[in-house]
Structure 1
């Protein structure tokens, strides 16, 4: 981790960044290190967060969380994975569903719907194949969730890849433990 990027406090963020992050900081009780670093680029951070909110409206919660957990798992982004495990649990999806998603084995993971399996296949292939030759998987996803949501899934992959690249490049530690680590620690 580099110490050459100052970790900003909430008060040091540009007003526009404070505005888009205020509710999140109040809900979580802290300003995550991701935002403390990326706050140096408010003109990029603000639309990034607006995209995040737009994706929540474009997709049902289960597909949003499936996509976020899948990208985080494939990319080794524990920072985001742990947070989305918690959000999935809060949304009522349960630890079994989270564990099934994190197996990254949509054909054999228990408890996933056919649509979730199709979306996870697409997300994994889009990352591993850099978007190339995923047409048949995209078609199958469209059959299950329609073209509008399929496009939203592709945007979601890009959003969470961006987060993973920043977190991994900066070696940011997760702000919270995995829900599965909590169970073994408690």
Structure 2
């Protein structure tokens, strides 16, 4: 469910409007992705205090969470696919590849779980994410299955990671943040 190319509702800020932290992250993220500076940081940075708090929270989930990076990226891509977040998909496909997901896994992350060559652990994580995003809950059967593979810290992180990227997909859509233009 794409919003198509639309004008941003909050214009990406310049250095004086968003502060050094958001500015540096936007430029560094763009450099890593070989794109223009990241508008996500340039828009969210318009609220400097909230941006700093969000950045700390988001960083605790990814990249500094307890789930292996490949699994974190799998969760993020699944949420992005379920929510039709072109921006998140665009940003995290490259990151997921660097975290160890195969091109096939990345391509299949938005399809039926039976279509992918997932491990049991990956399959139960994806099933839990599906329920969480689509119903705002995880039923007891799916919870028991995922709890066989994750410890308590990872279970809490899984719920917060999926919820965070669901919230972020909504913010990106509502603010009309567009994927950055690749540099030539």
Q: Give me the TM-score of the superposition, normalised by structure 2.
A: 0.82
**Which ranges of structure 1 fall in alignment gaps of 5 or more residues?**
178-186
* Corresponding residue number in structure 2 for 1:51: 57
Is it true that 1:135 corresponds to 2:143 in the alignment? no
**Which ranges of structure 2 fall in alignment gaps of 5 or more residues?**
1-5
Residues 72 and 81, structure 1, Cα contact 8 Å, conserved in 2: yes
SS of the residue 1:102 aligns to: coil
Select 2:150's aligned residue among 136, 139, 145: 145
Is it true that 1:91 corresponds to 2:85 in the alignment? no
Q: 1:4 to 1:65 in 2, by over 3 A?
A: closer
Q: Give me the TM-score of the superposition, normalised by structure 1.
A: 0.81
* Corresponding residue number in structure 2 for 1:123: 129
Residues 78 and 126, structure 2, Cα contact 8 Å, conserved in 1: yes
Give the drift of 1:13. 1.5
Give the drift of 1:36. 1.9
Residues 138 and 150, structure 1, Cα contact 8 Å, conserved in 2: no
Structure 1 residue ranges (4+ consecutive) displaced by more than 6 angstroms after TM superposition:
none
Residues 27 and 38, structure 2, Cα contact 8 Å, conserved in 1: no
* Corresponding residue number in structure 1 for 2:47: 41
CA distance in 1, matches of 2:133, 2:105: 22
CA distance in 1, matches of 2:87, 2:41: 12
C-alpha root-mean-square deviation of aligned residues, in Å? Answer: 2.3
